[in-house]
Chain A
């Protein structure tokens, strides 16, 4: 197993507030890692740091052996990191199909002239990304909605579209920010199966933030627990469940 992602003493401060302190994560290729913690623990901030939305105050982030600290989000995505958003961020006025097509723009390797003049080389790529987008929509069960506006989809389907869009960028590492939010137990079980399926099918490594303990404990091999930006524990689900610090953070102590 090779280390795909490694964060070294990553800190992020907003003014006087330390949102993330000394984040040291190691993610190996093919793993599914959970990131849990109470609200405001710095989970999403950690995602934002790794995917380039925020720049770490100090520390280093290595992806696939390359230092990606402070790179722009699109450059990081280009290297094979994709994500979904906790508060869904679809391209709302565009169709479901277009949402997935946009995510493939950077992999098309086309130029403006070729694209506007509809040269055969461009049309070939365009056909290719259409095929791929349709296959991805099939995968997440949204084929029948491909011409609908993204905003018109029900909540659960919007989440699935976010995953399809992230997969379209051809990632090696996928970050899922609360994929089970708002789902009922039945849907959560389906989601777990789906996560395992795409991991194998697309040879992914997945890091997910989740509050549904059933989902996290079910799919994750290892997990990190954050509280007030500090990593208070990491280990296998069994270790975490019995860790007194974790119980304290979640339930408080008398």
Chain B
């Protein structure tokens, strides 16, 4: 909580270290124990964590209602795939129209491809931010939504670069569990450090009261653009990971509904809570698979349906409505996990009264 105090090795630090070791061991165990299908879901959890965190940075911490996330993911996914595929793989894909010559021979390892994907998405985010962040609230939401559709239309129509609506197939399966979870951990650490820094406070001040923030010397516009750019960068990284996880991408995957999926996670977890986003990302990703039986034939005893595709999504929509009506702050509100909170609910022994400085 207070990174400023230097202590030899506090209880919290020990617990965090222990948790990290346990997490690492669990990853090893899962990796060797689960079948490939389960592992795929497990990897998707990590990718969704990155997406939820990046959307939460703008929507939750900076208070900007943006709906353009699918667009940034698409940019990241395409950039990363096109850079990481070998010239041969590209040739087999581009059957209608040959690939642009400048792109044909580009071939980079996964990590640089991923970083370039993030940078390209971040740059586009910066550009959109400079233009659209003059708008507020609903208007910003509409502008970013429109932008994400523009990206999709561009991807569909630049045949020689993106292979148009045919999409890209046979993308190398680089997103192993270590890549997915490694990235999720790095992104989480980065965001925790960012939010707890002076910049994080500045973001939150904009969310709480823009006029006051500006009067306290915060360059509100500059800060919004910064937050938006970082968020787009992270969405681009997640898009890249997703592409090498699915191995097949096409523009139709990045429609508005993709943004909605992430928004669902952010709202369920708590707008403005890193912990909430992580927990909700895992829960929602697993439930999406676990509830797949809802789409198939159902036997209610008195009647049998022969499969209603999309019934799963009805469940999530209903859940979202219930949360918005009864618990608007979501799972966590704006609070975060801390070891102190565990002692408060009795899972850990209480410490001396001196250290009781938790924020409710």
- Point out residues on A near B: beta carbons under 8 Å: 51, 53, 72-74, 77-78, 82-83, 85, 89-95, 98, 101-103, 105-108, 110, 112, 115-118, 122-123, 126-127, 129-130, 147, 149, 165-166, 168-169
Contacts and interface: CB of A to CB of B under 8 A. Distances in A.
A117 B193 contact: yes
A108 B204 contact: no
Contact of A93 (B194, B208, B219, B226): B208
Given A85-B212, A105-B198, A169-B216, A91 B357 contact: no
Interface of B: 3-4, 190, 193-194, 197-199, 201-202, 204-205, 207-209, 211-221, 226, 272, 334, 357-360
Q: Which 3 A-B pairs have the closest CB atoms?
A: A106-B217, A91-B208, A89-B212
B3 A108 contact: no
B5 to A, nearest CB: 10
A112 B199 contact: yes
A118 B334 CA distance: 23
A101 B211 contact: no
A147 B208 contact: no
A136 B94 CA distance: 65
20 contacts: A72-B219, A73-B211, A74-B220, A83-B215, A91-B209, A93-B204, A94-B204, A102-B205, A102-B218, A105-B201, A107-B217, A108-B198, A112-B226, A115-B194, A116-B190, A116-B199, A117-B193, A130-B4, A147-B357, A165-B216
Nearest to A112: B199
A115 B208 contact: no
B205 A94 contact: yes
Contacts of B217: 74, 77-78, 103, 105-107, 169
B209 A103 contact: no
Nearest to A91: B208
B211 A89 contact: yes
Contacts of B204: 91, 93-94, 98, 102
Contacts of A123: 3-4
A129 B220 CA distance: 20
A98 B201 contact: yes
Given A74-B219, A115-B197, 14 more contacts: A53-B214, A73-B215, A85-B211, A90-B208, A91-B205, A101-B198, A102-B204, A102-B205, A103-B216, A105-B198, A105-B202, A106-B219, A116-B197, A116-B199
Nearest to B190: A116
Nearest to B357: A147
Contacts of B199: 105, 112, 115-116
Contacts of A166: 216
